[in-house]
Structure 1
Amino acid sequence: MFSTSNTLLYADKLTDFNMPMPHIYACHLSDQLIQFTGPDKKSYLHGQITQDVNLLTNDALLWAGQCDAKGKLWSILRLFNFQDDYFAITSKDEIENALAEFKKYAVFAKVDIEQNKNHQLVGLFGDDLSAVLSELEIILPTENNSTIDFKFGKAIKLDNNRLILCIDKKAQLPSCITLLESEQKWQSLSILAGEPKLNNQAIAEYVPQMVNLQAIGGISFKKGCYKGQETVARMKFLGKNKRAMYILEANTNKPFEATEVEQQLGENWRRAGKLIQTSFDIDTNRAYALAIMPNDLALDTLLRTKQENPISIEIKPLPYSLIEE
């Protein structure tokens, strides 16, 4: 169990995600861990995902997609190396299908694939993390999407203000951290960073480029074969992909209830796309979402949720480019 002297829910209000955060916050993440062990783990994993596993060094964090034979995503993964094993972070909605698909052909290789329940994932965020980094004896690398071993486990740097800690369940967090009872603020920050994640309705619905996986380095177009490769390659080289993932924000006093988004065409409203992740910040009355919509949609397009009493939505700029080299 974790212990901290500041176990308050949203102890001090963050009025805006762009404003300085005076405290260091943490929350338990609902994301899950898949662990790959055995002498064939590298070659087996390499043939199952969109990423080049040869790039998975001890200090790297790599995005990857796990596809079915048609190139549709079973899961979106963040890969890292810890104690000579490979670990994949995926959402609680994705893990069941991800594990089943990974294990389907594992009987033909010397690899064990299991959900890791000995460690847990903690999201750590704040404007200045130096106090907790010093207490945990973590010296972060300069690069984002990097990892480092420390005395309690693995620290994963997403950016200067956000870390994921993969630590033993019995490890204690320093008292300088305010532990939140909800991960909604963390989810909002993740959405604003354009980090893709699938909900139940999105599993096996989209090819990797539709969730911007190519824009965050999650697809290798130079590696060998993997499930769904033909579709993924066709999307790139023949320009077949017509959809992308967008960041949405709404000023509202309630969370999104919808699963779909509509756009205004003249005096009418037409379906624009589906929501794959949502979050709600009770302090700022803002709802956030990731949505899959046409990739030529203008940022000033008028949008609303498809629900009773629709909510008007604004498209936020992505923090990365979708233009492929």
Structure 2
Amino acid sequence: MQNNSNVYLSNNLPNIYMQLNGWSIVRVLGSDKKKYLNNQFTIDMNLIDLHNYKIGAHCNINGKVWTSFFIFKYYDCYLYVVRSSICKKHLYELKKYSLFSKVDIFEDNSFRLFGLCGSNSDFILKDVLSIRFNQHTSVIVRDDLIVLKIDQPVNRYLILVHESKVKNFLTCMKYKIFLSISMQWLALDIEACFPIIDKKISGYFILQSLDLKKWDAIDFNKGCYYGQEVLCKYENKKINKFTVCSLIGNNSFFHPKIFESVEYLDDKSGHKFHVGVVLSWVYIYPKKILLQIRIKKIFLKKKNIFFIKSNPSVNFFVFTR
């Protein structure tokens, strides 16, 4: 089948697969792996079983998020998926205190990452890979193949294929489905309001203000971990004023900058307000642009019109499916 380089919203999504070039895989080995990660990550590692992954985060001592991730068990180790741009920095911070622990943490290049989505993706998964999920399972491991099911904004699948099996995987897929680009997966993450934490964003925002609590990426009851004291105080005082949302506008040439100011003009008062910053963006077919922003909750109204400070001529609206 031919390639498809367009990027779509989930309600117009064709059946496609793509290689995910913007994401990396980390492997954690060693007898102390669970204990060590439990002292570093915001989730309770004891709750990860063989059939379900967890979304978690790694924070600095001030509760600011270095990265978020999808983590799961793989035989005698843990694997997790992070954005490639922050992987090196994250590993440096994560391994700082590993000297006296029996743990080995490294970027794993033995797998390639793919995404699969579309209305018939369940059937394609079963037909090509002989894999079928049930309601109690979110990850399936088959030797050199690992598949994670993600249900936001629509059902889609994150597939890890061992290098030795990639050629066979690609051969099987190309006769069944269109090949797309990794920006499609990014667009679905943005539409789902899953925070995109790349290098420029890493270490700047506290976990709750990136709406990671919504993804069950924090446990307030487990033992100590980096940033816990700040995060718990922030939670108990109920002072979070921010959330993550998607905005959409009609333009295919405008190139926003990460961290750029998002503003709102009040028609009644004539006052201009800074409401948030750009976290990520992607062009959508046809001739639209989808933004992910961190926004003050009080401005999150469907009727509001927003704009980017550097290009106020392009109007943006809260995206709803």
The TM-score with structure 2 as length reference comes to: 0.89
1:133 aligns with 2:136: no
Distance 1:15 1:43 in 2: 41
Map of 2:157 onto structure 1 = 163
Distance 2:287 2:126 in 1: 31
Distance 2:226 2:9 in 1: 42
1:196 deviates by 1.5
Aligned counterpart for 2:3 among listed residues 8, 12, 23:
8
User: Are the equivalent residues in 2 in contact too, given 1:40–1:109 (CA < 8 A)?
Assistant: yes
Distance 1:51 1:7 in 2: 42
5 Å matches for 1:50-129? 50-129=42-121
Distance 1:77 1:104 in 2: 19
User: Are the equivalent residues in 2 in contact too, given 1:24–1:176 (CA < 8 A)?
Assistant: no
Secondary structure of the equivalent of 1:107?
Answer: coil
Aligned residues: 307
Map of 1:177 onto structure 2 = 177
1:308 deviates by 3.5
Map of 1:253 onto structure 2 = 252
1:205 aligns with 2:199: no
Aligned counterpart for 2:279 among listed residues 276, 281, 285:
276
* AA aligned opposite 1:92: S
Secondary structure of the equivalent of 2:200?
Answer: helix
1:202 deviates by 1.3
5 Å matches for 1:283-298? 283-298=285-300
1:309 deviates by 5.2
> Structure 1 residues 286 and 49 mapped into 2: Cα distance closer, same or farther (>3 Å)?
same
Name the % identity: 23
Unpaired stretches in structure 1, ≥5 consecutive residues = 1-5, 320-325
Which protein is richer in helix relative to its size? 2
* AA aligned opposite 1:178: F
* AA aligned opposite 1:139: R
Aligned counterpart for 1:307 among listed residues 297, 301, 310:
310
Unpaired stretches in structure 2, ≥5 consecutive residues = none
The TM-score with structure 1 as length reference comes to: 0.88
Distance 1:257 1:270 in 2: 18
**1:102-153 per-position Cα deviation (integer Å, ceiling 9, x unaligned):** 1100112000000011111101111112034222111113257x10013541
User: Are the equivalent residues in 1 in contact too, given 2:64–2:203 (CA < 8 A)?
Assistant: yes
> Structure 1 residues 54 and 45 mapped into 2: Cα distance closer, same or farther (>3 Å)?
same
Distance 1:88 1:238 in 2: 32
